[in-house]
A and B are shown apart, each in its own frame.
Chain A
Amino acid sequence: MSITCLQGGRVIDPVNGVNNIQDVYFEKEKIIAKPSNIDSKLISIIDVRDKIIFPGLVDLRFHLKNITGGQTENILSASHAAAAGGYSSVLLMPDTSPKPDNSGTIQFIQDRILKEACVKIHLCGNLTHNGKGEQLAPLGSLQETGVIAITDCPNTTQNNQIFSKGVEYASMFGLLVIDLPRDISLSRNGSAHDGPLALKMGLGGYPRIAEELYVQRAISIAQSIDTKIHLTSISSKGSVELIKSAKDKGIKISADVTANHLCFNENCITGFNPNFKMSPPIREEIDRLSLVDALLEGTIDCISTAHTPFQEHEKNVEYDLSPAGVISFETNLSSCYQTLLGHKEFCWTKLIKAMSSNPSRILEIDSGNLSIDMPADIAVFDPNIEWEYGSRNGFSQAINSPFEKHLFKGKITQTFVNGKIAFELQ
């Protein structure tokens, strides 16, 4: 039986304008058309009635410090966590150890990925050496050895000349630059949104303008060089307005938001729980509502995970000493679905666009749609399963989730990557 049929589910395939109940066929690693002569003995049928079928999710930002593994999050555990969340392709930020800043290390990381990962892990190279923002990295060589985008995330190149020349140089190779917009001088000690709550709690503020100044910088540079820049982890209403206005002018800017910024507002840090500390910080309700609207109207293109694993002893310390970042792979789709479901503009097509089709288009990878001959990267979601998330029961080796003990309705039941089962709900 070499052909598999996902039978009877609602198929959401925004690129092909599909949103109806139909069967999806794949043979080995490719999606195929419905076979003209169906010999039931040759077809393995998976009943997916009452479930939602869509192209595997694609993530634009995740972090993994430790490539070689052990008891901390590693390629194996992160990829299983991603698959459990419906992801088939994820983009690894370059703050790894070792760093993907030379061909030997890139080859080493790729070998580990090939050996251990159950989803497609793409590599993102550094824009500057070691992400320090001082000297451009060898972008052309990095591309030749396999990086598909460049960034200094989680850092941000502060020097405007280095950043603009980096973008210009990268454009020569058609390499996408991903920028986490942040002015460090305005946010160095910021561990919370710079607003009344942080003021009350005595926490250092990370103001909206620290982001918005750099959003404007990216827009101005993208316009002047006439090239693409992707802004990751947008968090403020002002940033949304800047991006909307830039897109209206035809400037090649794209942006993503994390599920956490769609689901929470700043009140989540009351109680100093470090599992709500992230960079950029969660802002006020007015920002959250603006981000949700911007996502559903298309100003924000994608939802990213910003999955950043830490071990308990690293993360569960005094709030301001705790490193920023949370894990998200296993909860991202369920949390977005739960948050957006009640919105009058919500539809599955928009959600799958934001979590699969758009990030695939931005990264220019073979993913994000269910066209014939595409890799069989497919996720199945049961909107009726009620479940409680517990980080210790998940695939990730890390525990730093803001959704601990959260009740969700809706869960991924299967994820296929190149036609192979990468996750199946037991």
Chain B
Amino acid sequence: MDISNWTRKSLLGIEELSYNEITQILELAKLFKKETEGDMSNKDYLRGKRMVNLFMEPSTRTRIAFEVAAKSLHADVISVAEQSSSLTKGETLRDTAMNIQALGADAIVLRHSSPGASLFLSKIVDVPIINAGDGAHEHPSQALLDLYTLQDKLGSVEGKKITILGDILFSRVARSNFWALSKMGAEVTLAGPSTLVPKQFESMGARVSHNLEEALQDADAVMLLRIQHERQSSSHFPSLAEYTKIFGLNKDRKQWLKKGALILHPGPVNRGVELDSELADSPQSVILDQVSNGIAVRMAILYLCTMQGATSL
């Protein structure tokens, strides 16, 4: 596969990517997905590359998926969590990253609570930075795996109606997905309570809805987001129970969905809050496809960023 068009060293967000770049990542992911179904023992594309997972916020799926992706390509993986790093001794992110670079890292996968943290780091160190979530700003690998999953099921997202439902305000997943989906030609509706889905999102080009029935009608897919109660003060909505009552997706509300509409969730799912188990485990749900597709997508990201300058796979 020709990868000579890929010129980015770091993957910081979806907003800056072109249609062609997104397509290129997904095409390579498709190739890797196929390869992972076979024997990977001799597919040592990243042998000798050292990848550091620098996770300053809790993560299960993303951290493990990056680790599995890197190991599948035979890269060496070192995982650093905030609690076990010198950041707890007052070392700054800048110094930690510069030390990691000095220790010979070939890529840093960063999860951090500050919006723009990956961009900040990319200006300090020379190694590729892969944004694994920066505050409420972007989570590009999640959006790419969501897009991969949607394309896999729907063929293409062009002209499709996708609703993202829940806590949009504090969600990096929502922002990255909005960019990815709209760049690929989908119509995106952001839905949820007015305090978590401000009308100002319309200035980005999204449709905003505070009415669940209206937001679900005609949607080809619904992406639910976890209500991040750890990020919000009680001022944004009265209680989880109230949220569930007004915006939770349950059996009764399933009828508002188009037949065959897909249900996505980046996880972790709060069952019984934003999504009932019956729907989470239904044939419409592609939640586990998202997780497994996440590995192939991250293999593609790691390969493109660390092998930037190579001409073909």
Q: With a CB–CB cut-off of 8 A, which chain A residues contact B119?
A: 271-272
Whether, in the assembled complex, B301 has its beta carbon less than 8 Å from a beta carbon of chain A, the answer is: no
Residue of A nearest to B169 (CB): A199
Pair A195/B115 contact, Cβ less than 8 Å = no
Q: A203: CB under 8 A from chain B?
A: yes
A196 part of interface (Cβ distance < 8 Å): yes
Which residues A169-197 have CB closer than 8 A to chain B?
Answer: 195-196
In contact, B114 and A199 (Cβ under 8 angstroms):
no
- Chain B's nearest CB lies how many Å from the CB of A25? 53
Q: A202-B135, A319-B120 are in contact. Are A272 and B115 (CB under 8 A)?
A: yes
A202 touches B200 (CB 8 A): no
When each residue 305-333 of chain A gets 1 if its CB lies under 8 Å from chain B and 0 otherwise, what string results? 00000000100111111000000000000
B200–A319 CB distance below 8 A: no
Q: Could you tell me the distance in whole angstroms from the C-beta of B295 to the nearest C-beta in chain A?
A: 26
When chains A and B are docked, how far (Å) is the Cα of A337 from the Cα of B19?
44
Complex contacts, B198 vs chain A, CB 8 Å = 199
B125 to chain A, nearest CB (A): 14
Q: How far is the CA of A389 from the CA of B69 in the complex (A)?
A: 47
Measured between alpha carbons, how far is A63 from B114 in the docked complex, in Å?
26
Q: Which residue of A lies closest to B171 (CB)?
A: A202
Size class of the B contact interface (CB-based, 8 Å): 20 to 34
Q: How far is A319 from B136 in the complex, measured between Cα atoms in Å? A: 13
Given the complex, which residues of B lie within 8 Å of A272, measured CB to CB?
Answer: 115-116, 119-120
Contact check, B204 vs A200: say whether CB atoms are below 8 A apart: yes
Q: Is the CB of A320 within 8 A of B115?
A: yes
Name which residue of chain B comes closest to A197, CB basis: B203
Contacts A196-B200, A272-B116, A318-B120 given; does A202 touch B93 at CB 8 Å: no
Also in contact, A196 and B203, with CB within 8 A (given A318-B117, A318-B120): yes
Name the distance in Å between B192's Cβ and chain A's nearest Cβ: 14
Contact sample, A vs B, 22 pairs, CB 8 Å cutoff: A196-B200, A196-B203, A199-B198, A199-B200, A199-B201, A199-B203, A200-B175, A200-B204, A201-B137, A202-B115, A202-B136, A202-B172, A203-B115, A203-B135, A203-B136, A203-B137, A272-B115, A272-B119, A272-B120, A317-B92, A318-B116, A320-B114
Instruction: Report chain A residues within 8 Å CB of B93.
Output: 317-318
Cβ contacts A111-137/B at 8 Å (1 or 0 each): 000000000000000000000000000
Report how far A318 CA is from B111 CA in the complex, Å. 13
B204 touches A201 (CB 8 A): no
Report B-chain residues with C-beta under 8 Å of the C-beta of A271: 116, 119
| Shortest Cβ distance from residue A301 to the other chain B in the assembled complex, whole angstroms | 32
Alpha-carbon gap, A319 to B92, bound state (A): 13
In the complex, A321→B115 CA distance in Å?
A: 10
Would you call A195 and B200 a contact (CB within 8 A)?
Answer: yes
Contact check: which of A202, A313, A316, A317 meets B175 at CB < 8 Å?
A: A202
Contact with B along A243-277 (1 / 0, CB 8 A): 00000000000000000000000000001100000
Contact of A319 among B15, B116, B175, B201 (CB under 8 A): B116
CB distance from B220 to the nearest CB of A (A): 25
Measured between beta carbons, the chain A residues less than 8 angstroms from B201 are 199
**Interface membership of B138, Cβ < 8 A:** yes
Q: How far does the Cβ of B232 sit from chain A's closest Cβ, in whole Å?
A: 11
B134 beta carbon closer than 8 Å to chain A: yes
A308 to chain B, nearest CB (A): 20
- Interchain CA distance A327-B191 in the complex, whole Å: 42
Excluding A196-B203, A199-B203, 15 further A-B contacts by CB distance (< 8 Å) are A196-B200, A199-B200, A200-B175, A201-B137, A202-B115, A202-B135, A203-B135, A271-B116, A271-B119, A272-B119, A318-B116, A318-B117, A319-B116, A320-B115, A320-B135
Complex CA–CA separation, A196 to B175 (angstroms) = 12
Q: What 10 A-B pairs are tightest by C-beta distance, nearest first?
A: A272-B116, A202-B136, A202-B137, A318-B114, A196-B203, A202-B115, A319-B116, A320-B114, A196-B200, A318-B117
In the complex, are the beta carbons of A319 and B114 less than 8 A apart?
A: yes
| Mask: chain A, 65-97; 1 = CB below 8 Å from B; 0 = not | 000000000000000000000000000000000
On chain B, the residues within 8 Å of A317 by CB distance are: 92-94, 120
A319 and B203 contacting across the interface, CB-CB below 8 Å: no
Measured CB to CB, the closest approach of chain A to B199, in angstroms, equals: 10
Q: Which residues of A contact B135 (CB under 8 A)?
A: 202-203, 320
Nearest Cβ on chain A to B299's Cβ, whole angstroms:
27
Q: How far is the CB of A282 from chain B (nearest CB, A)?
A: 16
Chain A neighbourhood of B169, CB < 8 A: 199
Instruction: Kindly list chain A residues whose C-beta atoms are within 8 Å of the C-beta of B265.
Output: none
Is B74 on the interface with A (CB-CB < 8 A)?
no
| Complex Cα–Cα for A131 and B92 (A) | 29
For residue B56, which residue of chain A has the nearest CB? A318
Bound-state Cα–Cα, A201 to B201, Å: 11
Per-position binary interface string of chain A over residues 198-222, scored 1 when its CB falls under 8 Å from any chain B CB and 0 otherwise: 0111110000000000000000000
Tell me the bound Cα distance from A195 to B45 in angstroms.
Answer: 44
A200 vs B206: C-alpha distance when bound (angstroms): 11
Chain A residues contacting B138 (CB-CB under 8 Å) are 202
